Structure 1
Amino acid sequence: MRILHLLASPFYSGPAENVALLAQAQRAAGHDVTVAVDRRRKEVLAEEPAAPRFEELGLLDEGGLELSVKSPPWRMWRDLRRLKARTVDVVHSHFSHDHLLARWGRPSGAVLVRSLHAPRSLRSSLPAADAYTVPASALLPRLLEKGATAQVLPALVDARFQPAPDARSLRAELGLEGTPVIGMVSTFQPSRRHAVGVDAFALYRKQRPEARLVLVGDGGLLEQTRKQVQDLGLADAVTFAGYQQGDAFARWLRALDEVWLLGLGNDWSARAAAQARACGVRVVAVDEGALPDLTDVRVERPTPDAVVAAALSDQRAPVRHPTNEQIAAEVLALYARARRTP
């Protein structure tokens, strides 16, 4: 099967990693798979660019698509004509720009599948497609009620995410002291509720005075969070690890005892929760997106007291997350169902 993924983003963040892992698993199953990304925006600040990473993986599509929301109309028209001339079996779009392009420039005989990565994309103006995926089971009924062919696309997990063979040595290498080691791994933005997490950690330390908090990431609220930590007298107990990616991010995640996920950004598949579980890290999370399916203990309300109550519980959930191979097989089966649907 010839599969073309459309990802109109210059960043290797948000859904991009999930798309890469899905494409790799589909290729491993014997299919011809490429991923087209935004080739117009080359100067990417603060985030890893997507094109070099997909090229390194051997997945970067070289079919001439610019695929950028910043393209002028005549370049978008050129993309539409070039896409229409392609010979593929499946066009799998991941953002609104991709979907509109594929809706009007669908190659002859190709199945069109749209992945929705956040609830804001699930709206009445959603263009038609042969099938859809959503990141969380809570969003599925809204499509099924309309008679759409749809299923959940869970987070895929890279093989680097696995339990640390020697967590004590790893923590020493990273300069982490104290126990338990709790982490928050996300961009510093309002939806991730770092302020709630820091306030909760201040309360948690009253019960577990040796605890350490590790904050991995960067973003607009970083300095505000640093000030909050200082004002609460927590500077000696909080580590700001900065933005991490690849193997370095996996090392920091493996060093944790548990992770607090108090909100999601632009990818509701809750990939960080799946990665943490693969590393043997306990997950404490709010009820958003796919988090309820991946958490060990749910935070009833996004308040410091509720976070502490959840963290101090001994709950562990026996969640068995599907492998990348299983997820790819389910998506391939979705393509087949879409092809058969009148």
Structure 2
Amino acid sequence: MTSADHRATAQFAADAAAMRRALELADRGPADGVNPRVGCVIVSPNGEVLAEGWHRGAGTAHAEVDALSKLAPGAAAGTTAVVTLEPCNHTGRTGPCALALVEAGIARVVYAVGDPGVHSSGGAARLRASGVEVSGGVLADEVEALLEDWLFAARHRRPRVIVKWASTLDGRAAAADGTSRWITGAAARRDVHRRRAAADAIAVGTGTVLTDDPSLTARDDAGNLLEHQPVPIVFGRRPVPQGAALRSHPRTPLFFAGAELAGDLEELARRGIRSLFIEGGPTLASAFITAGLVDELLVYLAPAVLGGPMLALGDLGIPTIADALRFDFTAVERLGDDVLLVAHPTTRDERD
């Protein structure tokens, strides 16, 4: 290995170490809202960490500016800024971070993932045009995992949609008399509440509201509210009673007619909703699946059979087996007596 190779290897190791610290800082920021969690570390030419920063939410200083604010004027000249996300290149509530780095005299910028925003991307190009050395892709997989929902919403202009149902082995979500509590056991229900708390929003149709009167909260085993609560959303045209349980939710409910699901999802993304947990019922789940707007299925299977008409899904308009919608199983988990199947849509290339 040449001396140049040794230097490159040492530089990558130093960049990766600083990026891991930036990731830790990013994780301090709010997990929901329209802005991503971003961390920044400013490093001297000899590898000393001079300043750190992270984004604390909409309207506050971005991570790069937060870090720069902790340095004396001129102290950032010739240094390296290590940032989890490509510095932004637009003026919103705050100015463009790419320009702030240039004006501070930063000589080199290292980032993990490119900014997919329509208005905010282009920071790397602006930096390079200003003579700043730029390197991307450092620990990209780890940052992608941290920002999974935000990146999905930014790239697709809609939230990531997770559809969940619980059913018997023969696909029934309820008995013939409509009863469905409880198909699955306590371990499966605990997992559902954990996943509810991890989502930005939870949705049902008006039929489920009128039939089951769900609270749409995330709770622990004792029935206490978990710290994070998803925004309750109802799709449908029928009025929701003023006394419905979801109207007492800690978060203000949102209501959509559901006639144009793609447009509704775009509106949710504009409101900062990056992940949507579809909880019920079969009409709503079927509508999202038919529209091709489902990114993950969570199917909780109980070791029971019921028979009868109460299927977990309704008619999807599929006339023949050749047209079946295909999914890939990405996880199988045992939860007490039940099984959770996690599946993602099979891409067209995979089908071919």
The TM-score normalised by the length of structure 2 is 0.33
Higher helix share: 1
Q: Which has the larger radius of gyration?
A: 2
Higher strand share: 2
